Every structure is written in C-alpha cells, then in structure tokens.
C-alpha cells in the first residue's frame, strides 16, 4: 500500500505536499519523495528519501523544491530491493520534457510488460511496476500529456490511483474498477489530490469529490477537466480492506466514514460471535473502532488493556538476554492490573500470518488474563491480493490452510470468531455491496483474473 498527494498551483506546494504526506504516513513508511516543477515549467526538482516523511524532509529539502505544482508519495515496504531506487515520484526527462509520476496500486502482468519493453530497448531504472507506464508514455504518439496517460493506461491492467506531473499540467487517474482511493479537494482556489481525506483535514483543504473509477482528470491553467476514456465496468471493485485496516479512521473513503464502518463491523461481530467475558480489549490502534462497536453491542465494558507506545516502533539495540516477543513488547504493553484474572474479548481488525497475534495473546495471558476470546473484524484472509495490498503468498496466510480451531490453537486464543463476509459488507451500509467492493482476499473472487499474472508479476510498487 502507498499514499499519494498532489497540488496544482499553490505558493506553498512543497510545504503542503510535505504535510499531506505526513497525514498519509500510515500508508507507507519505507520511503518518501516529492517532485516539484518550477513556475515556467522548465525545471523539475525531485527529493526522495528512505524512512518517514519527517525524517526525510527538513527545511533544506523543502527549500530546494521550488514551484507551485508538486506530487508526493509515501511507500510501503514490499521488497528488500534498494529503498531509494524504488522510491517515488518516478522522474524522467523524456522527449516531451519533465515527467513525475506517483502510484498507489499494482499493475498486473508487470514482468511480462517489462520483458516486452526491454526487448524493444527500454532500460528500467527501478524494479517497480510503475515504471512500465513511463516507457509506454514515452513510446506514445499522442500529442498531449493527458492523451499519453490515456494511451499508456489503456494498455495495462490492474489497480492504480495515479498522479502525473508534467510541464503542461497534472493528470490524476483511477482504474475502471476503482480498487484504490483518490480524492479531489480545494485549498485557496488550488486543486489538491490525495489518497485519503485525512490529508485535507490537516491542511484545511475542502473535500470536493472522489476521482471516479475509470476517470482521468486533467488540471492545467484552464482549470479541471474530467474524461472517461476507458470501457466502463458495471461492477466496481473498491478495496474493502482499506476500510478494514489501511485507511485512517478519520478518513472518509468511498463515501463512508472509516471510523463508523469499523464501529459497525464491531457491532455485527458481537452479534455473530457473542461470548461471556469481563472486558473488551482492542489491539491498538487497528482494532480500536471495532472493539468500541463490539463493547457497545455486547454491553461488556471496553478497556484499553494494551497500551501502545507511539515513540518506539523498532530498535536496533536489543537486550542481551533473550526476551520473548521483544519486538511486539516494544510497541504494545499489557495493563496487568486490568487484565489479572479477567475473561477478555480481544478485538483486532484482521489476522494475516498470525505471528503478531500469537505474541499479543501470550502477552495478555502472561499479564494474568484467565480466558482470551479473539474476535476479528473481517473474514479469514485466505487469498493473496494482486491489487496493491501487501498480503503474503497463500502458504503464509494462516487461514488458507487452517480451520478456525487450528487457527485459535496457533495464536493461543481460547476461542476465535471472524466477522462473516456478509457482516463485513453489511457494515459498509451500501445497497448491493457485492457489486461495489473487491473481497478477493476473503473469497478468491478476483475481479480481474490473476491466473496469468501469478508467474509474471514484478514486485508491486503498491
């Protein structure tokens, strides 16, 4: 998963992009970057750094980024490959001038595309699938930036929310299925784009609307124009896992408050998997909203039985004597006085590999909990995602080979209950949610068949 942000024609373009990216930090912590084009469109400056936005950008970096138009990116860690080389924005100076591109999503059949293009002489600078679009654009005979974008996109399949910054304008695009989010806002008469609305809240931009699935938006000195150049799909495939896990709870995504859908999912989970217990405990931060819903519905008191440290995410210095689950303990700490002797319902948003969950269950039990009833606010994750969520191969997905009882044993929980798919879809509050959301990670119903892609994918840029 990644986050993208763009702003067109604002005196503080780089500064606001920095702030926007900071709000999107939860979507990727591996690397970050901003591209800014100067006002006469003759010089594009790009700064890319490994790590967090605040670590990578200081006053000096922002000062270097001169101009009123900028795009930025936060990258989620997916491969062990060189961090900065694969960081975005991807930048090239091609025959039509400077071009910067940021991508959230994952193109299908990327390795095949790469080979095809390399056979024709293309030289790739990164191992990211996003670069395919640059090569396709540079080969396009179309006369305008927007038409070159359309030309390139009409040849690829997959999931994309994209921002292109060129000399003549900015182009935003979302694939026809609408897997990944992208929203449009306005600040002081300037257009802004973001993966999530939470970035608009920070900079006081006003949310205008979503970029629609299949829409290509051009912004230039004539204002904003909208195009629908691709074949329409009747059904959409918006990623429901964004609502389950990825998006920030203060974001409104696909027309719904993420906080509210998560609380609703918790209420439905309580209805589907009730139990006798003394406390409902969230796994912070991901399980908090669903736990609130669970507690509300079950009338079991909500308590913060685990405290998350917001200051230490990882450390390179470990104690010399081995401490069990040291990594997880750095992040989470149990409140012993609360948990001792209690029967607790532990609520988390999802269970993927189960390795973290097992450590958390052990920690809660060591703190004295008498019974642990694990409740997960989404269905079992049984299938890999090819559209930009970094879910591991099927073998690593706990629920792809184990039943509920086996999973409960694996994570050391006394009982386990997953929200049903119908329950999750219900929590979105739409009519006909099956025709709106992609649920492939839960049911293997891939909107675009991945069979041909399994062997031909490059590491996703997500």
Nearer to ligand AMP, 353 or 370 (CB): 353
Angle at 79 between CA 76 and CA 83, to 5 degrees: 70
If binding is defined by CB under 6 A, does position 351 make contact with ligand AMP?
A: yes
Pairing of strands 97-107, 69-75: unpaired
CB 176 within 8 A of CB 184: no
How near is the Cβ of 218 to ligand AMP at its closest, in Å? 33
**3-class DSSP state of 99:** strand
How near is the Cβ of 358 to ligand AMP at its closest, in Å? 7
Nearer to ligand AMP, 67 or 287 (CB): 287
Nearest to 61 by CA among 20, 7, 17, 9: 17
Angle at 126 between CA 124 and CA 131, to 5 degrees: 65
How near is the Cβ of 376 to ligand AMP at its closest, in Å? 9
Question: Around Cβ 337, how many Cβ atoms within 10 Å?
Answer: 9
For residue 205, the 8-state DSSP code is P
If binding is defined by CB under 6 A, does position 390 make contact with ligand AMP?
A: yes
If binding is defined by CB under 6 A, does position 348 make contact with ligand AMP?
A: yes
Pairing of strands 90-94, 97-107: antiparallel
Size of the site for ligand AMP (CB under 6 A): 16
Which residue of 182, 203, 283, 295 would you call a contact of ligand AMP, by CB under 6 A? 283
Contacts of 358 (CB under 8 A, 6+ apart): 410, 411, 412
Nearer to ligand AMP, 46 or 288 (CB): 288
Nearer to ligand AMP, 22 or 350 (CB): 350
Q: How many residues does the chain have?
A: 462
- Residue 173 Rama label (left phi>0; alpha psi -120 to 50; beta): beta
| Binding positions for ligand AMP, 357-386, rule CB under 6 A | 357
Nearer to ligand AMP, 291 or 428 (CB): 291
Q: Which stretch in 101-109, 210-218, 314-322, 349-357 sits in contact with ligand AMP by CB under 6 A?
A: 349-357
Active-site annotation, residues: 2
244-273 footprint of ligand AMP as x/- string (CB under 6 A): -x----------------------------
**Measured in whole angstroms, how far is the alpha carbon of residue 346 from the centre of its chain?**
24
How near is the Cβ of 241 to ligand AMP at its closest, in Å? 7
If binding is defined by CB under 6 A, does position 350 make contact with ligand AMP?
A: yes
How near is the Cβ of 210 to ligand AMP at its closest, in Å? 23
| Binding positions for ligand AMP, 94-113, rule CB under 6 A | none
Nearer to ligand AMP, 129 or 242 (CB): 242
Convert 286-317 to b/e letters by CB count within 10 Å (16 or more is b): bbbbbbbbbbebbebebbebbeeeeeeeeeee
Q: Which stretch in 60-68, 159-167, 176-184, 352-360 sits in contact with ligand AMP by CB under 6 A?
A: 352-360
CB 378 within 8 A of CB 389: no
Which residue of 195, 252, 356, 427 would you call a contact of ligand AMP, by CB under 6 A? 356
If binding is defined by CB under 6 A, does position 354 make contact with ligand AMP?
A: yes
CB 55 within 8 A of CB 83: no
If binding is defined by CB under 6 A, does position 240 make contact with ligand AMP?
A: no
If binding is defined by CB under 6 A, does position 345 make contact with ligand AMP?
A: no
Q: Where are the beta strands (DSSP E) in 197-331?
A: 206-210, 216-220, 223-227, 238-239, 252-253, 256-257, 279-282, 306-308
CA distance 444 to 211: 27
Binding residues (CB under 6 A) for ligand AMP: these are 245, 283, 286, 348-357, 389-391
């Amino acid at each position: 998963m990644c986050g993208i942000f763009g702003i067109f024609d604002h005196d503080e373009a780089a500064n606001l992009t920095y702030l926007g990216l900071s709000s999107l930090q939860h979507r990727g912590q591996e690397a970050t970057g901003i591209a800014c084009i100067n006002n006469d469109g003759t010089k594009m400056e790009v700064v890319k750094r490994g790590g967090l936005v605040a670590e990578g950008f200081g006053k000096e970096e922002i000062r270097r980024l001169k101009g009123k138009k900028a795009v930025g990116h936060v990258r989620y860690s997916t491969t062990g490959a060189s961090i900065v080389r694969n960081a975005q924005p991807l930048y090239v100076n091609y025959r039509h001038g400077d071009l910067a591109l940021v991508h959230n999503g994952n193109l299908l059949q990327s390795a095949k595309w790469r080979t095809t293009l390399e056979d024709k002489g293309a030289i790739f600078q990164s191992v990211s699938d996003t670069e395919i679009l640059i090569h396709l654009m540079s080969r396009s005979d179309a006369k305008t930036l927007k038409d070159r974008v359309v030309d390139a996109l009409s040849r690829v399949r997959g999931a994309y929310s994209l921002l292109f910054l060129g000399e003549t304008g900015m182009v935003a695009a979302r694939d026809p299925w609408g897997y990944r989010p992208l929203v449009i806002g306005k600040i002081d008469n300037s257009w802004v784009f973001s993966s999530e609305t939470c970035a608009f809240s920070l900079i006081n931009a006003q949310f205008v609307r979503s970029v629609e699935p299949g829409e290509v938006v051009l912004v230039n000195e004539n204002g904003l124009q909208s195009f629908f150049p691709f074949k329409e799909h009747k059904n959409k495939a918006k990623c429901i896992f964004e609502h389950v896990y990825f998006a920030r709870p203060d974001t409104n995504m696909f027309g719904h408050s993420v906080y509210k859908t998560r609380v609703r999912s918790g209420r439905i989970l309580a209805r589907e998997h009730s139990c006798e217990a003394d406390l409902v405990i969230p796994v912070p931060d991901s399980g908090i909203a669903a736990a609130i819903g669970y507690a509300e519905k079950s009338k079991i008191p909500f308590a913060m039985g685990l405290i998350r440290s917001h200051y230490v995410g990882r450390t390179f210095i470990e104690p010399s004597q081995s401490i069990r689950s040291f990594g997880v303990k750095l992040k989470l700490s149990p409140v012993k006085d609360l948990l001792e002797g209690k029967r607790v319902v532990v609520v988390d948003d999802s269970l993927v590999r189960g390795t973290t969950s097992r450590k958390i269950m052990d920690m809660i039990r060591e703190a004295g909990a008498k019974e642990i009833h694990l409740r997960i606010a989404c269905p079992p994750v049984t299938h890999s995602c090819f559209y930009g969520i970094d879910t591991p191969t099927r073998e690593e997905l706990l629920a792809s080979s184990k039943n509920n009882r086996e999973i409960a044993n694996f994570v050391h929980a006394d009982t386990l209950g997953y929200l049903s798919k119908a329950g999750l879809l219900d929590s979105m509050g739409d009519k006909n949610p099956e025709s709106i959301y992609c649920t492939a990670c839960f049911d293997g119903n891939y909107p675009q068949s991945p069979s041909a892609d399994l062997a031909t994918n490059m590491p996703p840029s997500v």
